[in-house]
Structure 1
Amino acid sequence: MPYRPTDSFTPARLCGAGLALAAALLLTGCQGGTPSPPNTTTAEPASSATATGAPVPGASESGAAGAPSAGEYKPADAKGKAENVPVPVMPELAKENSKEGLEAFIRYWYAQLSYVDETGDMSGWLPLFTPDCRLCMALQESGNDGYRNNRWLEGGRITVPSVEVFWVRAPGPQVATVQVIQEAIKYYNADGTTGREASEASNDAFAFFADYVDDGWKVMDLGVIA
């Protein structure tokens, strides 16, 4: 599902969280001049969980990956859906209520979203955000539409080159800025014909709001930094 949200966060809106300068710096790297190309090196399946931090198909650079299902990984193409996509596994660090834990959770969250794009399977992603996250809900709707009636997507894999957490030692949501790169996406109908117009590759900065509730992180809000 492409990142084309209407809900954005301007630097002025971010000032209350102390993020205006950080947003400007991150946008310089994400959107100034020609954006860096999406990472296309993830097409080769990993031989094991990424203890070394190597990326795997369908996952961001989260430092964690699931064991591939039986058979060789095959990305989606015009002939059919992706096959044997490794399922992202939440690292133990992402379960901690700490700055490092939140960063690990953010990378895992986007690994799950990338997996959704490749497979349409949201079972691991849906529990990670609340209904208050409007963009999350819009992404869910878009993902459902992309795989409805045996449709599928080609491309759309996500990488997360940069995460900066602004940790506050106080109860309530924590804030981070995240650089998110997503491959271009092609859409196919069940009979293999082209679906709606393809989405271009994107390189965006996001404001990411999460709270530690019920012994785990939940995304409370999300938006592109405009």
Structure 2
Amino acid sequence: MSIHDVVARSRRAAGVSAAVLAAVLLTGCTGGGGAPEETATASTDSSSSSRASASAESTASAGAGDTSTTTPAPSGSESPLPDDWRPQEPTVLATGQKVPDDYEPATLEHPARNVPKPVMPEEAKQETEAGAQAFLNYRADAQWYSIQTGDTSLIRQVTSTDCANCVEQYDSFDRVYSDGNWSGGGMEIQKIIPDSFIKRADGGYNLPVETVNYGLVTFRGGKVIERQIPFDLKDRFDVYILYKEGSWLYVTASPRGSM
């Protein structure tokens, strides 16, 4: 089975992925002004996530019909998030790389400053369970960096171009900044379920993961125009990664057990 076949099968099974999830939510962020949109979503496929349609007042379905563990976000004073809510930013990246003291999170007035550029650890180049986890950790850092800066080069380097949802997601990150907007938050970590590191006949690894997303916010002209509610999904997604010529490649994500 080729990478193209794997991605096509994943699309049929889910439509959107965890990594894509983060993107999905980001993609509407260039919409009009007014009250900020709050999104509570759990769908499936891409990078954190491909794209799912998410509304400010409903929780999106993830694959096989079960819904997100997050609470739908009503608008106005009943919102579960206060108006001044901001995503939790890391002091240490998923790989263990320290965030410098001069890092400044994004605010209404300016994008994030002094954002540390992720460095791939040597372990992330090994075809082992620890190496696969180190790779997913690096990928999480690269995605966070792209959301914080609008520079998607690192996350694209470790993602298969066959993952159309991923590419669409990264394009949306680019557009946020090219349109004069910026984002904060966006850290999403995927932890491999222990003892699941088994190579498939097609040469890839389809790994069940726990996904934790710390939320995201997008700013325009001194206003918040989009907010993604944090979520923690322990049994929702699998990620498919491929080891080839000494390095890992992220291919897609899908609902648990669908691949």
Instruction: Please indicate the TM-score interval, normalised by the length of the shorter structure.
Output: 0.5 to 0.7
What secondary structure does 1:118 align onto?
helix
Find the partner of 2:232 among 203, 212, 217.
203
Instruction: Name the structure 2 match of 1:116.
Output: 146
2:233 aligned with 1:213: no
What secondary structure does 1:132 align onto?
coil
Distance 1:223 1:188, change over 3 A: same
The AA in structure 2 aligned to 1:163 is: I
The AA in structure 2 aligned to 1:178 is: V
Instruction: Name the structure 1 match of 2:204.
Output: 173
Count of matched residue pairs: 183
Find the partner of 1:183 among 201, 204, 214.
214
Using the alignment, how far apart are the partners of 2:247 and 2:170 within structure 1?
21
Instruction: Name the structure 2 match of 1:40.
Output: 88
> 1:5-34 CA distances to partner (integer Å, 9 max, x unpaired)?
89748xxxxxxxxxxxxxxxxxxxxx6688
The AA in structure 1 aligned to 2:254 is: G
Using the alignment, how far apart are the partners of 2:150 and 2:89 within structure 1?
22
Name the TM-score, length of structure 2 as normaliser.
0.60
Instruction: Name the structure 1 match of 2:125.
Output: 95
Q: 1:171 offset after TM fit, Å?
A: 5.8
- Structure 1 residues not aligned, in runs of 5+: 10-30, 45-55
- Structure 2 residues not aligned, in runs of 5+: 1-20, 26-41, 46-67, 72-85
Distance 1:82 1:141, change over 3 A: same
The AA in structure 1 aligned to 2:241 is: A
The root-mean-square deviation of aligned C-alpha atoms, in Å, is 3.3
Checking the alignment, whether the CA contact within 8 Å between 1:156 and 1:184 is kept in structure 2 is: yes
Distance 1:136 1:149, change over 3 A: same
Name the TM-score, length of structure 1 as normaliser.
0.67
Alignment identity in percent?
24
Using the alignment, how far apart are the partners of 1:177 and 1:136 within structure 2?
19
Instruction: Name the structure 2 match of 1:85.
Output: 115
